[in-house]
């Protein structure tokens, strides 16, 4: 089930809110929410619930054992068992075939392992389980005696499928007791509708425009204009698609009494790669910082060790997105750029005008998304070289012209809306006018989004496959 479906909007969500309203005690509300979350996750593929339940159960027992003993060796053993139980499922479903087939490609063995079907959202909920067990081990958060509360933390449907990655310590208290006020509910629904509109009206249309263009790897050369337009459309599509899910998850969480941290802070307004990654998928960056980079030593052991730690983090960041070499290269691409920016180019970049730094950053990010998009390296090279007129089909082609005419200023509008001036304009508006317009805009956006959904088939979010 997806947020941007009529079944979710007009069946699942109203029934859930009704049942929560009728449930007077926190225990009953938690039970309703767990049942709804398992239904949401198991919709269409109920078998994958078992993997999540098993991993949750093992980590519940390991955390209880960690909390019950002071023996360092036993505590560490319980931590390792919990981590392995979580990582084992993720490794098998996501990486086993990739690694095994890579090794076999260097031998004369012709057999190859078929990749198993990937349980939806496994990368996200695995990381959340890990934060619980590790935080209990570090004594940073209390152990949960009630296993249903841990299941609620892991399975809670707003952020279950595609984040944000919620760290246990951030919402431990909210699992015990939550307050839902009318203003919180209203703000949450406004945020949800904003995300719905971004998905349906912006991300999906960017994707539709992209599908009408000739892409690399199809046997047809790309023009310079076509290469740039395709890169821009995917850059916008993945931002609006993923940030839309985060908006909807944060909004739904707010209506249920949870306060999730922001996941996107207008990343395309960044004037450096470092700034971009402080604004893009913030919860993933926070996870790798808190559970990989800092435990490895962070920047406390000299420049060489810091560079090594950064490369490890970015290798894992690339692999987290998928078992494919393009994701490995994509992670290395950003790891090298961040190292150069931090240790080599920092002083020189300070002298470059901010507008030029923004433009350079945006182009670097766009090229990164081209690497991210294609699993075929020859297609990556073809597309990137075509951006600069190398090996392409001239400056422009008829198909690109047709798409540009059909969608006119839509890509430019999407780019402008992705920049930080939008919230600044809202804050500058008189408060009474803003309070008057918000509910009207929300209703209009919801109505228009529903009209678009009526004519659409299944439209999953891009990050569902990670």
Which residues are catalytic, by number? 321
CB-based contact 156:258 (threshold 8 Å): yes
Q: What is the DSSP letter of 113?
A: P
Distance CA 86, CA 127 (A): 8
Report the candidate in 211, 217, 263, 216 with the shortest Cα–Cα distance to residue 234. Answer: 211
Report the candidate in 458, 464, 463, 465 with the shortest Cα–Cα distance to residue 200. Answer: 458
Distance CA 228, CA 214 (A): 12
Distance CA 392, CA 383 (A): 9
Q: How many residues does the chain have?
A: 466
Give the Cα-Cα-Cα angle 187, 276, 320 (nearest 5 degrees): 90
Q: CB within 8 A of 10, min separation 6: which ones?
A: none
* DSSP state string for 221-233: PPPHHHHHHHHHH
Helix runs in 429-463, H state only: 431-454
Report the candidate in 117, 59, 110 with the shortest Cα–Cα distance to residue 92. Answer: 117
Distance CA 462, CA 237 (A): 9
Report the candidate in 237, 38, 242 with the shortest Cα–Cα distance to residue 125. Answer: 38
CB-based contact 463:242 (threshold 8 Å): yes
Cα dihedral value 196, 199, 201, 207, nearest 10: -170
Distance CA 280, CA 258 (A): 22
Distance CA 424, CA 344 (A): 33
């Amino acid at each position: 089930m997806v947020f941007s479906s009529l079944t979710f909007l007009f069946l699942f969500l109203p029934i859930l809110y009704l049942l929560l309203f009728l449930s007077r005690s926190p225990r009953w509300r938690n039970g309703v929410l767990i049942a709804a979350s398992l239904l949401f996750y198991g919709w269409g593929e109920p078998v994958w619930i078992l993997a999540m339940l098993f991993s949750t159960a093992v980590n519940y027992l390991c955390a209880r054992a960690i909390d019950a003993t002071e023996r360092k060796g036993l505590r560490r053993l319980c931590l390792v068992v919990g981590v392995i139980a979580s990582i084992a499922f993720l490794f098998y479903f996501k990486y086993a075939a990739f690694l095994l087939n890579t090794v076999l490609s260097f031998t004369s063995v012709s057999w190859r392992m078929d990749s198993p079907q990937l349980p939806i959202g496994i990368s996200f909920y695995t990381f959340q389980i890990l934060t619980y067990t590790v935080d209990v081990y570090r004594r940073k958060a209390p152990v949960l005696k009630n296993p249903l509360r841990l299941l609620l933390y892991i399975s809670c449907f707003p952020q279950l499928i595609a984040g944000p990655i919620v760290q246990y310590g951030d919402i431990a208290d909210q699992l015990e007791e939550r307050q839902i006020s009318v203003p919180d509910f209203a703000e949450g629904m406004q945020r949800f509708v904003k995300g719905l509109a971004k998905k349906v009206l912006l991300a999906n249309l960017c994707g539709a425009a992209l599908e009408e263009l000739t892409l690399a790897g199809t046997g047809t050369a790309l023009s310079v204009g076509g290469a740039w337009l395709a890169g821009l459309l995917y850059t916008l599509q993945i931002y609006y698609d993923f940030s839309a899910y985060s908006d909807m998850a944060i909004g739904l969480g707010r209506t249920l009494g949870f306060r999730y941290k922001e996941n996107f802070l207008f990343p395309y307004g960044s004037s450096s790669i470092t700034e971009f990654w402080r604004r893009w998928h913030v919860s993933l960056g926070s996870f790798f910082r808190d559970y990989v980079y800092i435990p490895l030593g962070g920047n406390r052991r000299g420049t060489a060790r810091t560079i090594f730690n950064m490369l490890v983090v970015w290798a894992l960041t690339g692999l987290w997105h998928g078992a494919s070499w393009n994701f490995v290269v994509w992670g290395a691409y950003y790891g090298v750029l961040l190292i150069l920016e931090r240790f080599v180019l920092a002083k020189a970049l300070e002298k470059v005008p901010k507008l030029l730094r923004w433009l350079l950053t945006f182009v670097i990010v766009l090229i990164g998304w081209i690497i991210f998009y294609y699993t075929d390296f020859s297609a990556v090279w073809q597309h990137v070289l075509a951006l600069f007129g190398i090996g392409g089909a001239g400056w422009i082609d008829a198909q690109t012209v047709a798409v540009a005419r059909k969608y006119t200023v839509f890509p430019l509008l999407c780019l402008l809306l992705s920049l930080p001036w939008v919230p600044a304009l809202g804050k500058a508006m008189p408060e009474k006018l803003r309070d008057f317009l918000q509910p009207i805009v929300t209703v209009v956006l919801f109505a228009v989004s529903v009209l678009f959904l009526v004519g659409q088939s299944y439209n999953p979010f891009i990050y569902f496959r990670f």
